[in-house]
Each structure stands twice: as C-alpha cells, then as structure tokens.
C-alpha cells in the first residue's frame, strides 16, 4: 500500500488552524478541552503522515539505486541514502509515539473507550477517518 503524498485530513486541519469549529458536530467541540484535543490529534496525525511519506520516498530511492550496485564498498551516495533512511525511520517512530500520547489525551477528554484487541493508534486513526469522511484503515472486529 502506498502512502498518499497529501494528508487526507488537510482541509479539516486547515479549518481548525484558523479556529473554525462551527461546522463540526456539537459533541466534538462543546468544550474548549475537546476542541484542543481534536486539533492536537489532527496535528499529530499529520506529523505521522509526513514522516511516513518521507520514509517511503527514501526507501524507494534506496531500493531503486541499490539494484545496480557493484561488489565492493558502497558508494557515498548509497551511504547517504542509508543514513537518510535511518533518520526517516527514527522520525516516523517519534511521530508515532507522539501521536499515541496525544491520542491517549484525546480519548480521556472525549470519554471514549478503546475496544479490546485494538491499539490506541489504530482506534484514533480509524475514528478520524470515520469522523471526517474516509474509509477506516482497518476492519472492526464487531
């Protein structure tokens, strides 16, 4: 599965960045804490998306350029790509960890319960996709 380059909820995030909460259901924005938690969740989701795109792009470049490697020590170009890949993976892991922390706060503020056998990360991403008009990434076991 390829990662789309454009953040799927970019329009929603742009509206929330300027403080436009009028169009959201009342139960999402009836308290300032809920508005802040939702905005933080979308920001963290965007950071995860950006990191995933970066990781995918570096991995594709490395895969493409490693096809024609001659025996012997790697070229400086490949070494640089491997370093970029390591940095991109590290950024992705950090973004995911930050997303999980934000999602935990969001679940508490919204008073939601994460279903058994479903990770907080998957639950939050699926909720965002359902709330803002995209198909969930994972099927619900129910």
Q: What is the pLDDT of residues 23-42, one digit of tens each?
A: 888 888 888 899 999 999 99
What span, in angstroms and rounded, lies between the C-alpha atoms of 65 and 57? 12
Would 1 be classed as within a structural domain?
Answer: no
The number of residues making up the chain comes to: 142
Q: Range of 64's domain?
A: 10-131
What span, in angstroms and rounded, lies between the C-alpha atoms of 124 and 104? 9
- pTM here is 0.83
Would 104 be classed as within a structural domain?
Answer: yes
95-99-102-108 Cα dihedral, nearest 10 degrees: -160
H or E element that contains 117: none
Would 5 be classed as within a structural domain?
Answer: no
Instruction: Supply the pLDDT for residue 42.
Output: 95
Q: How many domains does the chain have?
A: 1
Is the pLDDT assigned to residue 135 strictly greater than 60?
A: no
Would 105 be classed as within a structural domain?
Answer: yes
Instruction: Supply the pLDDT for residue 107.
Output: 96
């Amino acid at each position: 599965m390829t990662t789309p380059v454009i953040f799927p909820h970019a329009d929603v995030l742009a509206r929330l960045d300027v403080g436009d909460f009028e169009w959201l259901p009342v139960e999402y924005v009836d308290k300032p804490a809920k508005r802040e938690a939702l905005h933080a969740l979308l920001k963290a989701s965007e950071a995860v998306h950006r990191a995933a795109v970066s990781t995918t792009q570096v991995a594709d470049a490395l895969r493409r350029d490693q096809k024609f490697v001659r025996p012997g020590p790697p070229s400086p170009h490949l070494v640089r790509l491997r370093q970029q890949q390591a940095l991109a993976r590290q950024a992705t892991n950090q973004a995911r960890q930050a997303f999980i922390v934000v999602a935990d706060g969001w679940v508490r503020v919204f008073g939601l319960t994460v279903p058994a056998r479903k990770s907080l990360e998957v639950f939050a991403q699926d909720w965002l996709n359902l709330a803002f008009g995209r198909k969930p990434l994972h099927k619900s076991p129910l």
